[in-house]
Structure 1
Amino acid sequence: IRRAARHGFELGMKQPFFYQLVDVLCQEMGQAYPELVKAKQAVIKALHQEEERFAETLEHGMKILDEVLVRLDDTVIPGETVFKLYDTYGFPVDLTADIAQNKGLTLDYEGFESAMEAQRNRARAANHFAVDYNDTITVETETKFTGYGTLEANACVVQLLSGGKVVDALSAGEEGILVLDKTPFYAESGGQTGDTGVLSHAGVKILVTDTQKQGSNVFLHHVKVARGNVKVGDELVAQVDAKERSEIESNHSATHLLHAALRQVLGAHVQQKGSLVDADRLRFDFSHSAPMTAAEMLEVERIVNAQIRQNYLVEADLMTIDAAQKRGAMALFGEKYGAEVRVLSMGGFSIELCGGTHVKRTGDIGLLKIVSEAGVASGIRRIEALTAAKALAWIQETDRQFMYIAELLKSKRENSAEKITQLLEKQRKLEKELTLLKSKAASAAGSDLTANAQLVSGVNVVAAQLDGADVKSLRDTVDQLKNKLGTAAIVLASVDGEKVRLVAGVSKDATDRIKAGALVSMVAQQVGGKGGGRPDMAQAGGTDPSNLLSALASVTDWVGQQLN
């Protein structure tokens, strides 16, 4: 798509065009691919938006690349440059290669790969998981998961690992990974985080801080021995943290209702593209090309909470994948399914394939509150939401803040919005009045400064400090002085705390001899700053007000040197 867009761009097609081919595509291929016809409007919309986004990337990237090519002394574009175009400006490597080939150039692919690998290493270093031993363990037996129906089980230790090595025992204070023959601990999968809890027997207490999975049938318990010793062959009582599991299940079940509600409100094009479900919140990524409106979010929230109040029974059934699809079950993004799948249904409103743990009835979720919606990638939106007690706590805190705002406004809660609107309107009027007063003050100051102008080789020079003036007032005063003085070079300054504001102006008939940008830069350098602008108007800032008076005093001599 992007290569076609680039060629169109080179042929002078500055507006999106590729999406117009969808009609022809449906005519030619619609019979073989009926889903293409069903999704026609979604495809057109997605293509159109992709072209618009890429047009911005392309135009900016082409300018950057052209600047690089002008300075290039070789026939090879450096890998660092290719990586910068890709990483910073979103310019695809294959397009850079196409452009290079058309100009008889090549890319330093080795340098590009080195830069990419350096970035990957930085990302790995930033990850808080220093070492991941999950994939290095070889376990002969499988773990039987018993956690759908119970949070406690008697189990046998079949393997221990510490520091990436298989060990026979772990002692008090040591951390490691423990494998059981069976477990009620759910291992992280499908976006649901792993369970925590306790493993114990006489004189032994082991804290389970996380549960991960190796393959599909080995559960790895990340543990810290709090008391006693544990060795291979020990019998333990495994107990999942019931409160945390309940919170996770509320959030997980809510994602299913949320998915169904989003499809109902936004359309059947919505597909899950990722999720994270833990005890604190749920995060749900889905395909959609535009930000949700406030009305859409409220409607989704209303629908989900209506299903929660219906208190539907949450049922899980095992069946073949074909039977599940005939039943209308949705397969979720990124999941792999075997011959037999687990179908989770909630009152017929939501039917999905899912291996996670869930509430017994939708009413157990209590409440869902959407707290944010944002884009995370092209065509991918993300919702974050809270459920149960945490949703209620969020609403109560928001309500408390709203009550405090009403107190500050000295109004009733129901009148707060109107009161804020009135205050904003009053503020706008005051700002207009202030702007007018500043303009009048600038005009008066301009009249006073005119009398102080120094004539240098036919150019009227003014350099002065105006207390309390903002940048706009300085610019307005400069314009007024240029109009009154005719041929002129002017620098005006003001101080705000430790910040210096500078504006310079040069009449157009003098810009061939004096540049406003050079003038303001000369003053700015003396007050710890820099700046620039047009030949007739420029501005700058500084951080050293103590040198301002001497800097302004140097303007007349500097102008004289430029003129001579």
Structure 2
Amino acid sequence: MEKLGMNEIREKYLSFFESKGHLRLPSFSLVPKNDKSLLLINAGMAPLKPYFTGKEIPPRKRVTTCQKCIRTPDIERVGKTARHGTFFEMLGNFSFGDYFKKEAIPWAWEFVTKVLELPEDRLWVTIYENDDEAYDIWNKVVGLPPERIVRMGKEDNFWEIGTGPCGPCSEIYFDRGEEKGCGKPTCGVGCDCDRFIEFWNLVFTQFDKDSEGNYNSLPKPNIDTGMGLERMATIMQGVDSIFDVDVIRGITDYVGEMAGVKYGDDKKNDVSLRVITDHIRGVTFMISDGILPSNEGRGYVLRRILRRAARYGKLLGLDKPFLHNVVDVVVEHYSGAYPELIERKDYIKKVIKKEEERFKETIDQGLGILDEYINDLRSEGKTVLEGNKAFKLYDTYGFPIELTKEILNESGMTVDEVEYQKELEKQRLRARSSRKEDNALWEKDIYSTLKDIETKFVGYDSVKSDAKVLAIIKDNELVDSAEAGEEVNVILDMTPFYAESGGQVGDKGVIKNEDVFVNIKDCKKAGGNKFVHIGTVERGILSVGDTVEALIDEKNRLSTARNHTATHLLHSALRKFIGDHVHQAGSLVTPERLRFDFTHYQALTDEEIKTIENEVNEKIYENIDVSVDIMSHDEALKKGAMALFQEKYGDVVRVVNVSDYSKELCGGTHVDNTGNIGVFKIISESGVAAGIRRIEAVTGINAVKYMNEKEEIIANIGQILKVNEKDIVNRVTGMSQTIKDYEKQIEQLKSKIVSSTSERLINLAVDFNGVKFISAVLNDFDVDELKMMGDILKDKLKSAVLVFATIRNGKINFVGMATKDVVKFGINVGTIIKEVCQIAGGKGGGRPDMAQGVGNNLDKVNDALNASKMLVMEKLQIK
């Protein structure tokens, strides 16, 4: 067999299945769309679930993809094994009720033996133990000898999740040779050793499991296959690890050059290189798909992976931000298959660099905490750090256990690794329990039972249409009719109502005839191409089979269209003046306003906002015609039309053009000419997540209303200040300066009071062998003033321990400080304040030289301060 590269294998696979009538779709975003069961796409079939369930109509019954995926359950094993990774690509061919086993199995065999030219005598397959149909195809049609067809049980060769579609599967294995085996007499397919490697799973979805546990045959079974690209490349290139295949090894070697180490020379360094190589690929693709670092959800997954890579870089001596530079190599190797990476490269690098800089600050904090732990161990005469503290360093500050051990070893100390592993396992169990297996993966709703019902949408050209009532749903049940006063969901055979999608809300209007009147307040899509009109029967009885007239609220539609076209103009203006990294990350288009979320790493300046607003208004005043073209998806992209991160597109798409200024794939409704928008006004710009900004704006009559309201507010302010509108700014500026002058005078007075009080406190200092100790309750000062006083006293006393308390808002605030020379004697005010706060019924802590905390029991303030004195005497061995 030829040693093919990853990019060659990918292309051969997709081209092969195109030759078998499959539609090649680009990889879907890593962000699942309308799927709450997943944080991230983790399998080739995951984004295609709506096609398997019938909720959406596939663009073709045969589809092939190479899907980028992220999986993190085994993240701790990444870098330590040859096969584990968080990012991978899954090749797949799929049939939605079209072909089945007699096509899927021979095609799989043809691809691996004729296209990839794998030696037939090294190929084995497994089948479900009762699947005689698959056995006969493998044996009689393909010609595979019986001894190389292995029957396995349900656990290995039957795919199901809860209830719903499921079925047997057949896996294809490659025998890497006896020398890769474990040597046991029982060694064979299914053995845990490295000899037999599974690379392709063919799933035959032929049953529908009901709640009673019955397996009912599906009238139209499906095919779902998955081949790991990296694993296939490992076989084709004759290497032992996914990190040794061409594309991935190129990244590994680059990181090694940066760190001044060579892959393969040192096992410890190799782990770090593998972690960084794997994680930077995942990070690059996640950010490219609009995910940004945050403290929850998929943003947290990204942050964890990114910081884990940075930590392992630190172990290689890469102390400065470096991951953003590795992006260049990732893009170089992957842009052939994922050209969007080139366009988004600079943005990806900026996001990563900013996160690396944030993490450096965090890990520096962790080093300070670890220093405290080491000082505490020394003062207590101990040499083993508790495992829970090592875990806190890992969980909160991003320290790998290896880094903690390394720093402890430098001080002649170790860590309780048994306890650390227990804490780690507790975290894993918490993570598992928080995301239990979603048995609703294939959950059915009332609309999925309406197999042969579809709605034809005519709303691009018409505001009304005659229609027939196909179905009525009331209280989530199908009914034959509904009376006045009842809330209903109505499906028609034809409608002008736009169903909510792409950020645009659904139309409002009425469904009526001479006998019935239904007020429609919303319209949504369900199960394929069914338009669900949501409303209330206000007169008469609506029945299935009725002929009605469907009319939308034209004024409402036009206001929505103004806002939708304005979002397209806004998108283009942002990319023109802010940068090509700007991409839509979400939107909402209603008749009243528009909301546009976009990728950007910092707030827009007032000048930028004004520039963008003026740009959009200029395009409105130019009266540019807005046109819509229908074309193939590929043709649209070639012509420069923008596609959105998370949208799914079929073979044929709508391209909304505003001359050469804006071209976007869009299914929404728009004005015919930009002049119809009237006016565009930005009302706010804000951040909604790390790296995601939001602009809210109004158009048309709503923009006029907004500006009228602003004028009224300005007039009211003028009346209050008793000045003309043109003099408001000068008056407010003068008032602001007066306030600043007063604040400055107050701060000067505070400083004098603090200085005077510090002189008084010096006279109260107790001398412990040259170390001055002062404790006091100072209720006239806040915490910042106590710290200021502490700095003054430390400077004057040279060698001192200070503990202050102030009672405010029903709580005691404690502040502890110590000079650096005293810390060397073993004094740790972080520990002292912690105990002091506990006595007063609260919590506290901090560094050896500065700490603070809170107490809740006001009666214990003096007891707490007396305790601080005893603790200092104990540390200084004062009797």
Q: TM-score, normalised by structure 2?
A: 0.51
Q: Check whether the contact 2:620–2:677 (CA below 8 A) recurs between aligned residues.
A: yes
Q: In structure 1, what is the equivalent of residue 748 of structure 2? A: 436
Distance 1:522 1:289, change over 3 A: closer
**Per-residue deviation at 1:369?**
1.8
Partner SS for 2:668? coil
Distance 1:549 1:274, change over 3 A: closer
| Farther-moved stretch of structure 1 (460-469 vs 190-199) | 460-469
Distance 1:89 1:402, change over 3 A: farther
Question: Is 1:225 matched up with 2:537?
Answer: yes
Q: 2:589 aligns with which of 269, 277, 280?
A: 277
In structure 2, C-alpha distance between the alignment counterparts of 1:249 and 1:472, rounded to whole Å: 54
In structure 1, C-alpha distance between the alignment counterparts of 2:666 and 2:326, rounded to whole Å: 38
Q: 2:345 aligns with which of 29, 36, 43?
A: 43
Q: In structure 2, what is the equivalent of residue 99 of structure 1? A: none
**Per-residue deviation at 1:186?**
0.7
Question: Is 1:197 matched up with 2:499?
Answer: no
Deviations 1:205-263 (A, max 9, x none): 32323212236632122233334322111122322233332221111111121122223
Partner SS for 1:43? helix
Q: In structure 1, what is the equivalent of residue 313 of structure 2? A: 8
In structure 2, C-alpha distance between the alignment counterparts of 1:340 and 1:515, rounded to whole Å: 70
Give the letter aligned to residue 559 of structure 2.
E
- Name stretches of at least 5 consecutive residues in structure 2 with no aligned partner: 1-279, 281-305, 374-383, 401-417
Question: Is 1:17 matched up with 2:330?
Answer: no
Partner SS for 1:280? coil
**Per-residue deviation at 1:120?**
8.1
Question: Is 1:114 matched up with 2:432?
Answer: yes
In structure 1, C-alpha distance between the alignment counterparts of 2:548 and 2:750, rounded to whole Å: 79
Q: In structure 2, what is the equivalent of residue 128 of structure 1? A: none
How many residue pairs get aligned? The number is 534
Distance 1:437 1:116, change over 3 A: same
Distance 1:60 1:484, change over 3 A: closer
Q: 1:349 aligns with which of 647, 661, 669?
A: 661
Deviations 1:50-70 (A, max 9, x none): 144146448858969x99x97
Give the letter aligned to residue 844 of structure 2.
G
- Name stretches of at least 5 consecutive residues in structure 1 with no aligned partner: 93-102, 125-130
Deviations 1:437-477 (A, max 9, x none): 22322343344555667889998776554453233443444
In structure 1, C-alpha distance between the alignment counterparts of 2:438 and 2:550, rounded to whole Å: 38
Distance 1:425 1:465, change over 3 A: same
Question: Is 1:301 matched up with 2:613?
Answer: yes
Question: Is 1:174 matched up with 2:486?
Answer: yes
Q: Check whether the contact 1:136–1:164 (CA below 8 A) recurs between aligned residues.
A: no
In structure 1, C-alpha distance between the alignment counterparts of 2:587 and 2:462, rounded to whole Å: 25
Deviations 1:517-537 (A, max 9, x none): 566566655655443455665
**Per-residue deviation at 1:189?**
2.1
Cα root mean square deviation, aligned? 5.0
Deviations 1:88-114 (A, max 9, x none): 88999xxxxxxxxxx998986984762
Distance 1:455 1:284, change over 3 A: closer
Distance 1:494 1:402, change over 3 A: farther
Question: Is 1:358 matched up with 2:676?
Answer: no
Question: Is 1:53 matched up with 2:355?
Answer: yes
Question: Is 1:370 matched up with 2:675?
Answer: no
Give the letter aligned to residue 190 of structure 1.
G
Q: Check whether the contact 1:139–1:218 (CA below 8 A) recurs between aligned residues.
A: no
The percentage of counterpart residues that share the same residue type is 37
Deviations 1:280-303 (A, max 9, x none): 322223344554333222212111
Q: 2:470 aligns with which of 158, 163, 171?
A: 158
In structure 2, C-alpha distance between the alignment counterparts of 1:515 and 1:20, rounded to whole Å: 41
Q: 1:531 aligns with which of 834, 839, 844?
A: 844
Give the letter aligned to residue 495 of structure 2.
T
Distance 1:120 1:465, change over 3 A: farther
Q: Check whether the contact 1:139–1:159 (CA below 8 A) recurs between aligned residues.
A: no
Partner SS for 1:149? coil
Partner SS for 2:435? helix
Q: 1:263 aligns with which of 568, 575, 581?
A: 575
Structure 1 residues 59-458: aligned runs within 5 Å: 60=362, 111=429, 114-118=432-436, 133=445, 136-214=448-526, 217-321=529-633, 324=636, 328-376=640-688, 380-407=692-719, 411-448=723-760
Q: In structure 2, what is the equivalent of residue 100 of structure 1? A: none
Q: Check whether the contact 2:346–2:581 (CA below 8 A) recurs between aligned residues.
A: no
Partner SS for 1:345? strand
In structure 2, C-alpha distance between the alignment counterparts of 1:119 and 1:393, rounded to whole Å: 50
Distance 1:71 1:357, change over 3 A: same
| Farther-moved stretch of structure 1 (480-489 vs 434-443) | 480-489
In structure 1, C-alpha distance between the alignment counterparts of 2:539 and 2:799, rounded to whole Å: 88
| Farther-moved stretch of structure 1 (191-200 vs 549-558) | 549-558
Q: Check whether the contact 1:5–1:51 (CA below 8 A) recurs between aligned residues.
A: no
| Farther-moved stretch of structure 1 (386-395 vs 153-162) | 386-395
Q: Check whether the contact 1:514–1:559 (CA below 8 A) recurs between aligned residues.
A: no
Distance 1:529 1:392, change over 3 A: farther
| Farther-moved stretch of structure 1 (275-284 vs 342-351) | 342-351
In structure 1, C-alpha distance between the alignment counterparts of 2:530 and 2:323, rounded to whole Å: 49
Give the letter aligned to residue 355 of structure 2.
R
In structure 1, C-alpha distance between the alignment counterparts of 2:773 and 2:555, rounded to whole Å: 77
| Farther-moved stretch of structure 1 (265-274 vs 450-459) | 450-459
In structure 2, C-alpha distance between the alignment counterparts of 1:435 and 1:479, rounded to whole Å: 16
Distance 1:401 1:502, change over 3 A: farther
Q: Check whether the contact 1:316–1:344 (CA below 8 A) recurs between aligned residues.
A: yes
**Per-residue deviation at 1:179?**
0.9
In structure 1, C-alpha distance between the alignment counterparts of 2:637 and 2:851, rounded to whole Å: 68
Deviations 1:539-558 (A, max 9, x none): 4444555x377658957995
In structure 1, C-alpha distance between the alignment counterparts of 2:535 and 2:397, rounded to whole Å: 44
Q: Check whether the contact 1:456–1:556 (CA below 8 A) recurs between aligned residues.
A: no
Structure 1 residues 477-492: aligned runs within 5 Å: 477=789, 491-492=803-804
Distance 1:351 1:48, change over 3 A: closer
Q: Check whether the contact 2:641–2:664 (CA below 8 A) recurs between aligned residues.
A: yes
Give the letter aligned to residue 349 of structure 2.
L
Deviations 1:1-21 (A, max 9, x none): 158655533211122335546
Q: Check whether the contact 1:281–1:384 (CA below 8 A) recurs between aligned residues.
A: yes
Distance 1:533 1:375, change over 3 A: closer
In structure 1, C-alpha distance between the alignment counterparts of 2:638 and 2:498, rounded to whole Å: 28
**Per-residue deviation at 1:184?**
1.3
Q: Check whether the contact 2:499–2:523 (CA below 8 A) recurs between aligned residues.
A: yes
Q: TM-score, normalised by structure 1?
A: 0.75
Distance 1:417 1:274, change over 3 A: same
